[in-house]
Amino acid sequence: MALLKVKFNQKKRVKLAQGLWLMNWFSVFAGILVFSMGLFLKIELRKRSEVMDNSESHFVPNSLILMGILSCAFNGFAGKICYDSLDPAKFAKWKPLLKPYLALCFFFNILIFFVALICFLMRGSLDSTLAQGLKNGMKFYRDTDTPGRCFMKKTIDMLQIEFKCCGNNGFKDWFEIQWISNRYLDFSSKEVKDRIKSNVDGRYLVDGVPFSCCNPSSPRPCIQYQVTNNSAHYSYDYQTEELNLWRRGCREALLHYYSSMMSSMGAVVLLVWLFEMSVMVGLRLLHTSLESIANPEDPECESEGWILENSLKDTLKSALESLKKIGKFNQVEADGEGAEGEEGGKTPAITTVS
């Protein structure tokens, strides 16, 4: 029994073709939207590529851009088919292409669904990319005189100001690295010498943070040096008082920013996928209703359209049988080639008569 069998007369077929033509052009605009989202996300990721460890995060925007282009191409082609289906003479040239085209549409919709899922599932990969990238970026913060790294100080400062964050996981991350360049250290000073000697790696570590970690909304002037030293500041308790530094780490801030963006894009792509599925179903009904016309010379006659010619169970069974036959055929061919190789490898015995 056919799946989702529907009876059509000429009026219904015309309405279906016109509706599908309109839906396909809506899908073209949806493809442009998906393409634009991918382009926007790619630009946003490129803005902060210096604090990302690898290029895996660009998989999502690249996929969105590709899906947008394919969506425009597929739906533009389908719109032409639907328009020509109103004229039997024009539709005849598309008939042989419809089945392969529908198969391609099926796989394309699987890809769209996969990309939508990836938008929701990239959080873990993005988290590790940001954690390592920010860690490396903070190490290069002091290298303002090193070619290729001289921009890192500005990048980190602008990032902390824009996203109201400090450090990788928090402001204490700055205590573990030397973020002040040796160029600005007085090595004749006893304090500088003592700090460098007290560190195993010979680094100048302080319990301070860059100015960009300061919260301008705080009523108190920013305490960015000797943050953990209560006696260095009047009426100050490091343990209890709310610091006038950003408490949130930049990894968390960027992760929230990009994750919420990709989740929103994933929801849009899911809606596009549902719309594309409905267009594919409609196109299949149009295809089968036009093919099942009993008398092609009488366009007024009724016909039947369906999604699958047989039930879903029977269709899956026949597909599995076809795959088994292909597998057996390939095995027979391989065995035949092996036998020929063995026969060719045999060397005839030569008898010498004296």
Read off the tokens for 267: 């929801």
Task: Identify the CA nearest to 113 among candidates 283, 271, 263.
Answer: 271
Q: How confident is the model at residue 345 (pLDDT cuts 50, 70, 90)?
A: low
* Contact by Cβ (8 Å): 316, 117: no
Q: How confident is the model at residue 354 (pLDDT cuts 50, 70, 90)?
A: very low
- Say how many C-beta atoms besides its own lie within 10 A of residue 265's C-beta: 23
State the distance between the two ends of the chain, measured CA to CA, in whole angstroms: 80
Task: For residues 282-303, give the mean pLDDT.
Answer: 73
Task: For residues 148-167, give the mean pLDDT.
Answer: 91
Q: Lowest-confidence range among 172-181, 198-207, 300-309?
A: 300-309
pLDDT in tens, 174-188: 999 999 888 888 888
Domain range summary for the chain, segments of one domain joined by +: 3-137+252-294, 174-247
As a whole number of Å, the CA-based R_g of the chain is 33
* Contact by Cβ (8 Å): 44, 341: no
pLDDT value at 10 more than 70: yes
pTM of the model: 0.78
Choice between 286 and 278, residue whose per-residue pLDDT is larger: 278
CA angle 130, 133, 139 (to 5 degrees): 135
